[in-house]
Structure 1
Amino acid sequence: MAESEEEDVLVQRVVKDINNAFKRNPNIDEIGLILCPEARYNRSPIVLVENKLGVESWCVKFLLPYVHNKLLLYRQRKQWLDREALVDITCTLLLLNSDFTTAWNVRKELLQCGALNPERDLYLGKLALTKFPKSPETWIHRRWVLQQVLQECSPPSSDRKEQRDSGLRDAAERTRLSERLHRVLHDEMKVCADAASRYPSNYNAWSHRIWVLQNMAQGNLKVLHDELSSMREWVSMHVSDHSGFHYRQFLLKALVRELSQSMHHHHAPWPSLGSSSPRSPSPDPQPGHPHHQANGEATAAAPCPSPATPEDQSLVPAMPQLFHQEMELCTDLIQSFPGHETLWCHRRHVFYLWHHWRRDHDHHDGQGCGSESPQLNHTDAGLSSYPHTASPRGVGIDRVESRNGQAQEGQNAMEVDGVGVPDPRNTKRLKRGPPDPCPPALPSEHSFIARVLEGCRSPEQGCFALAYRKWLDSVIGQ
């Protein structure tokens, strides 16, 4: 009996030491166990060095059963604990066993009654993931907390009209909520990246990252593009991580979907692969036109789209360039790291996505304006804006661009019907930019496979290349 009381006193001191460590340093970013079979010194088993918190392993066999039984007695209504004690006990328990669902449920109740801050609860989950990066219960609980944050930052739709009419929510409040969401989103991306680096092919972490983008950054092209750019270095260092490449494929799909919806929303034709600037878009939709999100749902509260800006128009020709850059990345990684099936699977997915986008593009062109006329790049677009580029006397654009002024007759001819052309001697000649990137195609893919097989020294690389060629012939080449 006396020994049991001594253990209870010891465990209570350890729980108190853990909570005092968080009070002394609120910036703790990692927890871990310190291998120590027995207590060698008469000191606390909680070690805090800079931003790292360690627990000596000898005390876990006393600490974990104690906090576990305490929480179960509370859930069975056999023992009463105040809110502060519940916060401390669940914190200690989850740092030692993050898959204890009852502890997370207790923290949900504490959060709902206002005894716990959502950001503080997310912080505990972040620390638990440094020791248990695949913990499914931790990821599930994080999604629940994030949903609470979203509800706090966006009031119910029934209240929005009243708030809009009465003006209760001012600009400062909206800015504060927007900054809060941005901060939470940024922290979630860091948590997911850290968990993915701690455990290879961490499916739970990557799935959570997808969920965050779908629910907190839906339709945000900038966030999607930034994620794709930041992931480039990561996948180059983890060439066998299937889950990481699956996340990159999700980003590509989301970008293609959002770019396509953006072009349809502005009634702009699909871009030509040989064109580096889009054609002039049609007039914008009528005010009040619902904005369609990535999941196909229409949100009536979305603002009416403004006229297409140069930044919006720059999205149109980005589609072929997006696929070209991704195929270039696949080529570099396959050649630099031979024998990795993940890279070939990713290349197959990218080409399949490109194939379907191109097919839809051609179908849309067939229903819209024809593509028989040759496409112009950005240097020709300025010249084509003037009517009568060829006069009845046969004066062409090359004569208009003559430097020495010997084409005066051509100038007069260009002024037919009262339409004048600026003096070419007073106008700078536009230089043609670099050629557009070559889009993926079956011949180029077969050439790539032939080059790989020709210099192949890895039997696995040869098998993957042959399997890719067979897939191209059976799926794409039909």
Structure 2
Amino acid sequence: MAEFEKEVAVLVQRVVRDISNAFKKNPNIDEIGIIPCPEPRYNRSPIVLIETKLGLESWCVKFLLPSLHRKLLLYRQRKNYLDREALVDVTVTLLLLNPDFTTAWNIRKELLQCGVLNPEKDLYLGKLALTRFPKSPETWIHRRWVLLQILQQCYAQKGCRKEQGEGYLCHTEATGSSQNLCTHQAKLLHQEMTVCSEAAGRYPSNYNAWSHRIWVLQHIAKDNVEVFLEEFSSMRLWVSMHVSDHSGFHYRQFLLQALLTALCKAPQSTAATTLHQQGITTTSQSDTRAAFGLNESSKEWQPGIVTIPQLFDLEMEFCSELIHSFPGHETLWCHRRQVVFLWYQWRRDHPNVPCNTNEGNVLHLSISKDNGQACSSVEKSINGLPCGGDAMEVDGPPDPRDAKQLKRGLLMSCSMALHAEHSFVSSLLDNCCNLEQRRFALAYKKWLGTINHQ
């Protein structure tokens, strides 16, 4: 028995060393995986590195995990000593195999605070772990903690350089430092969007990935309307390819709500409220374009003509296209409900704002409809709105005796739009052969019937 344990210890030490050497040999590894191999066939390392892909033969996992778990737990209990380099290597190997082991992430937090680890390297490790475990909650939690550390460093450097600029530097140098920090944050934002998009593509309705994406926008982009608008534009492609993913559409609803809130905060909150009124300067637009790899002539980047009614009109048109193209998906009808709810909620709060345009409600928005590059793209309720995620009722026309249902109705301020929705549903039902599509259309029509007229 003692001899077997000694052999396992040697194997574990060898695998940890080989994984560390693999990262030193190729620091651009972008994916990890387990190679099905019930038993060792040759007297060689179970680590396989092919270009940027790292593989581990499955037979050794059952020896690695218990041994590494025990080693770290003994270290935390002060019963075993590991130097910092050994801790880094052991936690890397363990987290690639089991990223939900909280103790390993906590040890890496301590190493980060001591300056042993680079925050960027830890983000890289988390990204690799998410290629195998895209829903790992502990990985997303640790990632947010690391991002907060990076943001605090950026703010500290920005404040320090601002003080130096006031005392010793000229105004142009201080301005240049501030712009560099903004560019760094924009690149960090783009990096996180890519990670979230890849994780969402690997696991359907990945709530943890979409929640992280919202957190990133709230903490890094904050009130930058241009970033939210770019996300809103780029998400069109992703949701078009994942029409059954509720989380993706809920994220789109969050973006719509965020844009609506930001545009309403303008000094002149009217239908002509534009991004220019939000104080976005040419410099910030330029930095954001560069970070997202966009050029100045991109059609989707014309913030001066974006209005609140245009955002809603484009979203309804987009939703109609998806419903016609992909019949029988409840997600699309739930999303349409939420968009209509947000629209009439805004109309109720802003009854004096004109909602028509020069071309009879046919609005031409500057966001590209077929954006070819998605900003690499959560389930979240919007201010507790009850209608977006509720199950759709399909048991016939609305019952006027159902008082509770009528009380949940909305006070509408634009009957023409309600009439347009009824016309849309009626036209679809007249030409629909898909049973599921008819079922969802009837449910949506019933929901429209619960809206009260002013």
User: Structure 1-normalised TM-score?
Assistant: 0.73
- Mark the CA change 1:448 to 1:89 in structure 2 (over 3 Å): closer, same or farther: same
- Mark the CA change 1:250 to 1:376 in structure 2 (over 3 Å): closer, same or farther: closer
Superposition pairs for residues 280-429 of structure 1, below 5 Å?
Answer: 313-315=304-306, 318-363=307-352, 365=353
- Mark the CA change 1:29 to 1:173 in structure 2 (over 3 Å): closer, same or farther: same
Q: Is the 8 A contact 2:158 2:178 kept in 1?
A: no
- Is residue 195 of structure 2 the alignment partner of residue 206 of structure 1? no
Match of 2:262 among 237, 240, 258: 258
**1:218 shift after superposition:** 1.0
Superposition pairs for residues 64-463 of structure 1, below 5 Å?
Answer: 64-155=65-156, 162=163, 165-166=166-167, 170-262=174-266, 264=267, 268=268, 270-271=270-271, 313-315=304-306, 318-363=307-352, 365=353, 437=362, 441-463=417-439
SS, match of residue 249 in structure 2: helix
Larger Rg: 1
Q: Is the 8 A contact 2:226 2:303 kept in 1?
A: no
- Mark the CA change 1:172 to 1:321 in structure 2 (over 3 Å): closer, same or farther: closer
Q: How many residues matched?
A: 376
For 1:73-119, what per-residue CA distance to the aligned partner results, in whole angstroms no more than 9, with x for missing partners? 11001111111111111110000001000000001000011001111
For 1:303-330, what per-residue CA distance to the aligned partner results, in whole angstroms no more than 9, with x for missing partners? xxxxxxxx76534xx2212111111111
SS, match of residue 362 in structure 1: coil
- Mark the CA change 1:46 to 1:29 in structure 2 (over 3 Å): closer, same or farther: same
Cα distance in 2, alignment partners of residues 448 and 171 from structure 1: 53
- Mark the CA change 1:476 to 1:130 in structure 2 (over 3 Å): closer, same or farther: farther
| Greater relative CO, 1 or 2 (CA 8 Å, sep 6+) | 2
% of aligned pairs identical? Answer: 62
- Which deviates more from structure 2 when the two are superposed, residues 148-157 or residues 456-465? 148-157
- Mark the CA change 1:123 to 1:269 in structure 2 (over 3 Å): closer, same or farther: closer
- Which deviates more from structure 2 when the two are superposed, residues 134-143 or residues 351-360? 351-360
Structure 2 equivalent of residue 302 of structure 1: none
Give 2:10's aligned amino acid: V
**1:153 shift after superposition:** 0.4
Give 2:141's aligned amino acid: I
User: Structure 2-normalised TM-score?
Assistant: 0.77
- Mark the CA change 1:39 to 1:170 in structure 2 (over 3 Å): closer, same or farther: same
Match of 2:441 among 465, 468, 473: 465
**1:186 shift after superposition:** 0.9
Cα distance in 1, alignment partners of residues 357 and 449 from structure 2: 33
SS, match of residue 474 in structure 1: coil
Q: Is the 8 A contact 2:39 2:59 kept in 1?
A: yes
**1:212 shift after superposition:** 0.3
**1:463 shift after superposition:** 1.8
Cα distance in 2, alignment partners of residues 90 and 11 from structure 1: 13
Give 1:246's aligned amino acid: H
Cα distance in 1, alignment partners of residues 128 and 55 from structure 2: 12
**1:458 shift after superposition:** 2.0
**1:32 shift after superposition:** 0.7
Cα distance in 2, alignment partners of residues 470 and 361 from structure 1: 26
**1:4 shift after superposition:** 1.8
RMSD (Å), alpha carbons: 2.7
- Which deviates more from structure 2 when the two are superposed, residues 448-457 or residues 193-202? 448-457
- Mark the CA change 1:477 to 1:26 in structure 2 (over 3 Å): closer, same or farther: farther
Cα distance in 1, alignment partners of residues 176 and 163 from structure 2: 18
Structure 2 unpaired stretches of 5+: 280-301, 364-413
Q: Is the 8 A contact 2:28 2:52 kept in 1?
A: yes
Cα distance in 1, alignment partners of residues 271 and 311 from structure 2: 13
Cα distance in 2, alignment partners of residues 349 and 152 from structure 1: 39
**1:360 shift after superposition:** 2.3
- Mark the CA change 1:32 to 1:342 in structure 2 (over 3 Å): closer, same or farther: same
**1:457 shift after superposition:** 1.6
Cα distance in 1, alignment partners of residues 269 and 303 from structure 2: 14
